[in-house]
Amino acid sequence: MSNVWICELLSLVTLLVSYNVFVCECQDPEALPKEAEDCNGVFISYDLLDRRKEFPRVKNVTAQSWAFNATAKVLNTGKDVVKSWKLFIGFQHHEILVSASGGIPFETGDFPASVENGTTLVGSSLPDLESSINTAHDLSQIQALIQIAGTQFGVRPPGIPMPKSIKLENDGYKCPHPSVRKSSMFACCKSDPNYKSKLLKTKFLPRQKGDLTITYDILQAYDNNYNVEVTMENHNPLSRLDRWNLTFEWTRGEFIYSIKGAFTREMDSSKCIYGIAGQYYKDMDFTKVTNCQKNPIISDLPPEKYNDTEIGKIPFCCRNGSLYSIIMDPSLSISKFQMQVFKSPPDLDKKSLFPPARWKIMGVLNSDYTCGPPLKVEPSQFPEPRGLEATVFAISTWQIVCNISKPKQRKTRCCVTFSAYYNDSVVPCNTCACGCDNDDGYYDGKKNHRCDPNAKAMLLPSEALLVPYDNRTLKTIAWAKLKHFRVPKKLPCGDNCGVSINWHIVSDYKGGWSARITLFNWKSFQFKDWFTALQFKKGASRGFEKVYSFNGSFLSKINNTIFMQGVLGYGTNYLIGQDNDTNPKIPGKQQSVISFTKKFTPEMKIAKGDGFPSKVIFNGEECSIPTQFPMQSGNRHDVYLVQEILPLVLVFTMNQILF
């Protein structure tokens, strides 16, 4: 019998090796190591469980991908509650996370997420870790267990690809360099005495600052459902959102029964009927359920729905998704909606309240935002609805902080062109300023060609600014030949931007200068109450005097920014959409002249680039700026040269005559 057992064992080993499966010699995940027993603080660990070779199979060891499974733990072994734990794992083998149940990767985007430089995990269903004292050593309340699955590259067996380090990133804790034992890494993080008193005084985490904040206020709670109000506030004076779309991820089987002040993009109840909710709520009419998606997409209602008693009547709702800058109108920088959310087993009591995770918000032609995890903060306060001099508190409140992400190169949504009175060529938007597709091309009058996404943009005649890129090719080539510019064999691709802004130097004189700004809308829809902001180097904006067709202001406290918006009542607050019925299509346009003085900047050299903005923002989106500006023409230089040499010639001639 023993020989049969040995044969079966050998067969199993052979099978595992043949499939390139390598099981790491790690500890039992349920067993606590001795170091955890001796830790008085927060014990953190990372255990690599197994990995297997993925397809494609390659000979280059560093390029070979491996699927891996690991667990990370955060165990509160101290006497204080750990609020909103944050665990950093210093991945170093080009890891790509596919899932992380029990935790949320902070600021990494959707799965699969690249974490090759490490990532911070935060709590989803268990954001706070209670103490063993308060829970009678209930591990489900004092320990967060994260199941990690992903891909890593390199490290041929028997090597063990471990992270570079792990640490707790909560304020008030210090972590030593972690210990490594085969496929396990662990450390005991201890409380910093300097932070101890502060932690004990604070019951809730302080509210954080950010470009945009989202507040999740639970107003009413029942055993199997709750009512929540979601508030979005724009705090950045130079940002805004148009037609916002908000999305998040339910983590415990919740679904939206009803919603007021907004609507879900899809209204499908099938996932409830065939899921856990359908098994528990057997008598519920799911045709009345608003949305059962795990990741619903929510949008604002149009203004005409504000007085709708069924889906409207929510303060700060129903503005077509417009979330304005606080400079434009503080009352329009807030947006709200309310939901009735039903829960699923086992969370069927009033205390089981969990916010959704992985929040995202986006707009049309606006900045990109990266949102953090929900942080439990002090409950929000509201005035008593019947008019009494009393304050009503939310049952629970979470705050989500979103900050603007810097746009990646060539992936902005607007661009800028430069021109000047002293040069008859226009410096166009950068090639592929707003991205390019593989099939982008142009028509040269004879046939279609593939464009070059890496070629430098060609100078244009001024009239080409009013022509879409598809109709600009012939004008560009003709202008290049007329001016004896080089014409590449493969022309550069267009900018592909929905909005372009032309900055034109109109005049330059001893005491001041002037410019003209023109906004072009190449989209089919209009921009209501648009704004643009400009920043200059060398203090040019300090000489700002007046904008003639728009409202303009100088913001000295915000990097000396010039802020401009259309005038309400005069039609300039609308940047209408492109007219698609003409050939070529005509963009929507707004234009104004701006005057400057040189009183504070007499040393300015307009023709050397001092009069061109270094940063342009349209509706919160930072636009792509050209890498060059119009140069003074050769003839103009000759004039200046003659003006400088003439006095010298006269002096020389007079000397010859007199002496």
Quickly list DSSP for 275-338: SHHHHH-TT--GGG--B--SS-EEEEPPGGGTT-TTT---TT--STT-B--TTT-GGGSEEEEE
Look up residue 392 and give its two tokens. 């009503």
Q: What is the pLDDT of residues 55-74, one digit of tens each?
A: 999 999 999 999 999 999 99
Look up residue 520 and give its two tokens. 């072009």
Question: Residue 570, exposed/middle/buried by CB under 10 A (0-12, 13-18, 19+)?
Answer: exposed
With a pLDDT cut of 90, the percent of the chain lying above it is 69
Q: Is-contact 286 368, C-beta < 8 A?
A: no
Instruction: Name the phi and psi angles at 188, rounded to 5.
Output: -110, 110
The confidence band for 6, taking pLDDT boundaries of 50, 70 and 90, is low
Of 498, 501, 423, nearest to 459 by C-alpha is: 423
* pLDDT value of position 272: 94
Long-range (24+ apart) CB contacts under 8 A made by 523-528 are: 523/365, 523/498, 523/499, 523/577, 523/578, 524/577, 524/578, 524/580, 525/364, 525/577, 526/574, 526/575, 526/576, 526/577, 526/588, 527/242, 527/365, 527/499, 527/574, 527/575, 527/619, 528/322, 528/573, 528/574
pLDDT at 642 over 50: no
pTM score: 0.78
Same fold, 19-201 and 212-405: yes
Contacts (Cβ under 8 Å, ≥6 apart) of 302 = 318, 320
CATH class label, 19-201 = mainly beta
With a pLDDT cut of 70, the percent of the chain lying above it is 89
Q: What is the pLDDT of residues 302-339, one digit of tens each?
A: 999 999 999 999 999 999 999 999 999 999 999 999 99
Domain chopping of the chain, boundaries:
19-201, 212-405, 414-628, 635-659
Of 447, 445, 442, nearest to 458 by C-alpha is: 442
Contacts (Cβ under 8 Å, ≥6 apart) of 594 = 514, 515, 516, 517, 544, 545, 546, 547, 548, 552, 562
Give Cα separations from 86 to 30, 48, 462 (angstroms): 21, 20, 55
* pLDDT value of position 177: 95
* pLDDT value of position 156: 87
Q: What is the pLDDT of residues 442-471, one digit of tens each?
A: 766 667 788 999 999 999 999 999 988 878
Chain centre distance of CA 599: 40
Which one has a higher pLDDT value, 202 or 536?
536
Structural Rg of the chain based on CA atoms: 32
Question: Using CA atoms in the order 536, 539, 540, 541, what is the torsion angle rounded to 10 degrees?
Answer: 70
Which CATH code, of 1.10.760.10, 1.10.260.40, 1.10.3720.10, 2.60.40.290, is assigned to 414-628?
A: 2.60.40.290
The confidence band for 647, taking pLDDT boundaries of 50, 70 and 90, is very low
What mean pLDDT, rounded, does the chain reach?
Answer: 88
* Least confident stretch, 62-76, 100-114, 383-397: 100-114
Q: How far apart are CA 184 and CA 178, in angstroms?
A: 10
The confidence band for 157, taking pLDDT boundaries of 50, 70 and 90, is confident
The arrangement of strands across the sheet holding 262-264 comes to 262-264, 297-300, 245-249, 357-362
Q: What is the pLDDT of residues 201-215, one digit of tens each?
A: 556 878 999 999 999
Q: Is-contact 235 210, C-beta < 8 A?
A: yes
Half-sphere exposure of 6 (CA within 13 A, CB side): 3
The confidence band for 268, taking pLDDT boundaries of 50, 70 and 90, is confident
* pLDDT value of position 450: 86
In DSSP terms, 45 is beta-bridged to: 73, 186
Q: What is the pLDDT of residues 239-263, one digit of tens each?
A: 999 999 999 999 899 999 999 999 9
* pLDDT value of position 75: 97
3-state SS record for 527-548: EECCEEEEECCCCHHHHEEEEC
**Domain covering 212-405: architecture:** Sandwich (2.60)
Q: How far apart are CA 561 and CA 31, in angstroms?
A: 59
3-state secondary structure of 412: coil
Q: What is the mean pLDDT of residues 34-53?
A: 94
Look up residue 384 and give its two tokens. 């008593």
Q: How far apart are CA 36 and CA 43, in angstroms?
A: 6
> Sign of torsion, CA 569 572 576 581?
positive
